[in-house]
């Protein structure tokens, strides 16, 4: 059953509660920002390029129109020239009439006007010019105005010329005079729209005949630009959508195994220790799955070991308890044989003793397994082993020799310092010496020696006892493991050991916690050797 963990983080946003949505949201926003920036850049480039293209085209068209009006062979040139001559003639007449009235500026404005051509007829010429203007307007899509040399409109492809006045002062006309860039963007008073104007001079030799002015509303140009930008935006939005969908898929691929893992972890927490997740990938998520499976396997193993341990412990506790109860019941029932009653009492005492030691060993094991014991062991100080080993040997010598065994101690003059807890080293060696004494027949020998090798201190406890069969060697450090239960240690020394198979298990734990290793070699009938290796402390 799933319960709500009060410590679980609370997120106010839905996407913070799902890794998949978080990835999609983050990348979606990122793609969108990139799209906006890119679109801004593209719009700028497209606008600039399109505008300059439109200006260039319009200028080219103006130039072509002007050229055709200049060229006598084009069919229009001579007519425009005739018109210009006639205009100039009329202007001169007006000037003569208003001699002295005209300003210097106006004189300057008429740079070089073509001479008068007698007999020219204005109306048909204007009709022809109008046709020219309309033809170019149709071809270019722009409004075409033909101006005379003073900037007055002669014909316009779209409007009556009286709707707008003299164009001399307009920047594109002035620029055309200077042969500079011939464009200007401004409001067209006739249409009321922002318009791009270009102008080109119409010349014959050094004589200025007039100008061709082309006008195109900016709206027309920008419509083209907008449609192009919309197309690019469409492609961009499609690309972002595809990319976001791809991120959604990738995120789903990441999240799916995590969800499986979560379900499996909850099942394990609920007690299903056989729960495993499929590992299909070689990446970090695959590694996580493998680590989970390994963890579940270890937990299952630990639980099995613990169950086994508890079963063994209760069995070991029950045996002496049964022995005690049987004897106490017999005693309570009334035994007249005093010797038998005495024996029962002694056996009860011995079993109680055994029970006590068993309880101590069990407590030791559980204390050693605790985290604080491991931390404490890691903080051991470096000690000089020699005085410790000598004192230990002397304490045990008498007891071993009383058992009819020879006790040889072979220690070097110097030993490097070793990081170890002295009382734990004593527990280890007492266990090993007890076992050696227990399983060595009278007349045998027990040897305690130490030496330095490969940056390690080796402490060896060897005996010439009955040895351990090869098939039992890998198990003797397991809790409650005893070699061939029928084979009992020397009965006379039985009371010195718990005999529950916990001694070597405690030894192994103590050695490991002091960063050491223990190895055993044994030959049945010849004896056993236990070697402790502790790293030297520098
Ligand atoms: P116990 O407390 O019963 O001695 P241990 O864990 O100390 O349990 O030892 C486990 C088993 O290993 C013993 O029952 C014994 O059969 C075997 N063993 C340990 N030390 C020796 C030894 N020096 N010689 C022969 N057998 C030994």
Lowest pLDDT segment from 85-89, 304-308, 420-424: 85-89
pLDDT for 91 equals: 62
Q: Is the pLDDT of residue 143 over 70?
A: yes
Q: Is the pLDDT of residue 103 over 80?
A: no
How far is 528 from 479, CA to CA, in rounded Å?
19
> What pLDDT band is residue 347 in, cutting at 50, 70 and 90?
very high
Query: Hey, which residues does 155 pair with through a beta bridge?
Result: 146
- Ligand 1, from 441, 482, 499, 510: best to mutate by most atoms within 8 Å of Cβ? 482
Q: What is the pLDDT of residues 228-272, one digit of tens each?
A: 889 988 998 999 999 999 999 998 988 899 999 999 999 999 989
Q: Is the pLDDT of residue 146 over 60?
A: yes
Q: What is the pLDDT of residues 288-334, one digit of tens each?
A: 999 999 999 999 998 988 888 888 888 888 988 999 999 999 999 88
Mean pLDDT, rounded, of the chain: 83
How far is 326 from 320, CA to CA, in rounded Å?
10
Q: What is the 3-state secondary structure (H, E, C) of 16-49?
A: HHCHHHHHHHHHHHHHHHHHHHHHHHHHHHHHHH
Lowest pLDDT segment from 193-202, 338-347, 439-448, 496-505: 496-505
pLDDT for 388 equals: 92
Residues 6+ apart with CB under 8 A from 157: 130, 133, 134, 136, 137, 143, 144, 145
pLDDT for 208 equals: 84
Q: Is the pLDDT of residue 446 over 50?
A: yes
> What pLDDT band is residue 9 in, cutting at 50, 70 and 90?
low
Q: Tell me which residue has its CA closest to atom 17 in ligand 1.
A: 483
pLDDT for 428 equals: 94
Instruction: Check: CB of residue 190 under 8 Å from CB of residue 66.
Output: no
pLDDT for 497 equals: 46
Query: Hey, which residues does 186 pair with through a beta bridge?
Result: 195
Ligand 1 atom showing the smallest separation from residue 463 Cα: 23
Ligand 1 atom showing the smallest separation from residue 487 Cα: 16
> What pLDDT band is residue 105 in, cutting at 50, 70 and 90?
very low
Instruction: Check: CB of residue 202 under 8 Å from CB of residue 80.
Output: yes
CA 477 to centroid of ligand 1, rounded, Å: 9
pLDDT for 100 equals: 47
Ligand 1 within 6 A of 251 CB? no
Burial 412-440 (b: 16+ CB within 10 A, else e): eeebbebbbbeebbbbbbebbbbbbbbbb
pLDDT for 92 equals: 63
Ligand 1 within 6 A of 444 CB? no
Q: Is the pLDDT of residue 77 over 80?
A: no
How far is 346 from 324, CA to CA, in rounded Å?
10
Q: 137 in helix, strand or coil?
A: helix
User: Is the whole model's pTM more than 0.75, yes or no?
Assistant: no
Closest CA relative to residue 358, chosen from 479, 505, 502: 502
Average pLDDT score over residue span 120-128: 67
pLDDT for 325 equals: 94
Q: Is the pLDDT of residue 379 over 80?
A: no
Q: Is the pLDDT of residue 4 over 70?
A: no
Share of the chain above pLDDT 90, in %: 38
Helix then strand then coil, % of the chain, to nearest 5: 60, 15, 25
pLDDT for 23 equals: 86
CA 438 to centroid of ligand 1, rounded, Å: 8
> What pLDDT band is residue 69 in, cutting at 50, 70 and 90?
confident
Instruction: Check: CB of residue 449 under 8 Å from CB of residue 436.
Output: no
pLDDT for 101 equals: 46
Average pLDDT score over residue span 109-138: 64
How far is 61 from 134, CA to CA, in rounded Å?
13
> What pLDDT band is residue 47 in, cutting at 50, 70 and 90?
confident
Ligand 1 within 6 A of 479 CB? no
How far is 172 from 178, CA to CA, in rounded Å?
10
CA 305 to centroid of ligand 1, rounded, Å: 20
């Amino acid at each position: 059953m799933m319960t709500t963990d009060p410590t679980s983080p609370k997120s106010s946003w839905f996407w913070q509660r799902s890794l998949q949505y978080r990835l999609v949201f983050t990348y979606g926003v990122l793609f969108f920002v990139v799209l906006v920036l890119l679109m801004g850049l593209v719009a700028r480039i497209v606008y600039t390029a399109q505008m300059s293209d439109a200006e260039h085209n319009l200028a080219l068209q103006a130039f072509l129109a002007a050229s055709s009006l200049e060229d006598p062979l084009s069919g229009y040139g001579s007519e425009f020239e005739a018109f210009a001559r006639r205009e100039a003639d009329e202007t001169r007449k007006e000037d003569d009439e208003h001699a002295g009235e005209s300003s210097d500026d106006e004189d300057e404005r008429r740079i070089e006007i073509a001479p008068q051509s007698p007999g020219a007829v204005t109306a048909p010429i204007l009709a022809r010019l109008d046709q020219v203007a309309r033809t170019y307007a149709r071809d270019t899509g722009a409004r075409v105005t033909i101006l005379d040399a003073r900037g007055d409109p002669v014909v316009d492809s779209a409007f009556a010329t009286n709707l707008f006045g003299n164009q001399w002062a307009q920047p594109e006309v002035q620029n055309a005079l200077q042969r500079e860039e011939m464009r200007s963007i401004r409001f067209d008073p006739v249409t009321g729209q922002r318009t791009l104007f270009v102008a080109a001079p119409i010349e014959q030799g050094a004589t200025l005949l007039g100008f061709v002015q082309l006008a195109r509303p900016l709206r027309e140009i920008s419509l083209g630009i907008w449609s192009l930008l919309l197309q690019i935006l469409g492609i961009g939005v499609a690309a972002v959508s595809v990319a976001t969908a791809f991120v959604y898929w990738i995120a789903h691929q990441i999240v799916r195994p995590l969800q499986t893992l979560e379900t499996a972890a909850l099942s394990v927490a609920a007690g299903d220790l056989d729960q495993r997740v499929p590992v299909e990938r070689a990446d970090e998520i695959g590694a996580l799955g493998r680590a989970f499976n390994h963890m579940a396997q270890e937990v299952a193993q630990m639980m099995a070991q613990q169950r086994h341990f508890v079963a063994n412990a209760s069995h070991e506790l029950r045996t002496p308890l049964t022995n005690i109860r049987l004897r106490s019941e017999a005693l309570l029932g009334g035994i007249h044989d005093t010797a038998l009653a005495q024996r029962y009492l002694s056996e009860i005492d011995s079993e109680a003793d055994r029970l006590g030691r068993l309880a101590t060993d069990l407590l030791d094991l559980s204390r050693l397994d605790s985290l604080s014991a491991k931390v404490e062991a890691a903080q051991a100080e470096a000690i000089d082993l020699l005085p410790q080993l000598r004192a230990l040997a002397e304490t045990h010598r008498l007891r071993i020799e009383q058992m009819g065994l020879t006790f040889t101690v072979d220690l070097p003059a110097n030993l490097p310092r070793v990081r170890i807890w002295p009382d734990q080293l004593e527990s280890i060696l007492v266990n090993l010496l007890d076992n050696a004494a227990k399983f060595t027949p009278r007349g045998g020998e027990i040897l305690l020696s130490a030496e330095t090798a490969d940056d390690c201190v080796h402490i060896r406890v060897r005996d010439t006892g009955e040895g351990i069969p090869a098939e039992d060697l890998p198990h003797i450090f397991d809790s409650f493991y005893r070699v061939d239960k029928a084979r009992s240690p020397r009965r006379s020394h039985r009371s010195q050991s718990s005999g529950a198979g916990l001694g070597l298990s405690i030894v192994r734990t103590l050695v490991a916690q002091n960063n050491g290793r223990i190895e055993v070699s044994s030959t049945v009938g010849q004896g056993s050797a236990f070697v402790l290796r502790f790293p030297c402390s520098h």
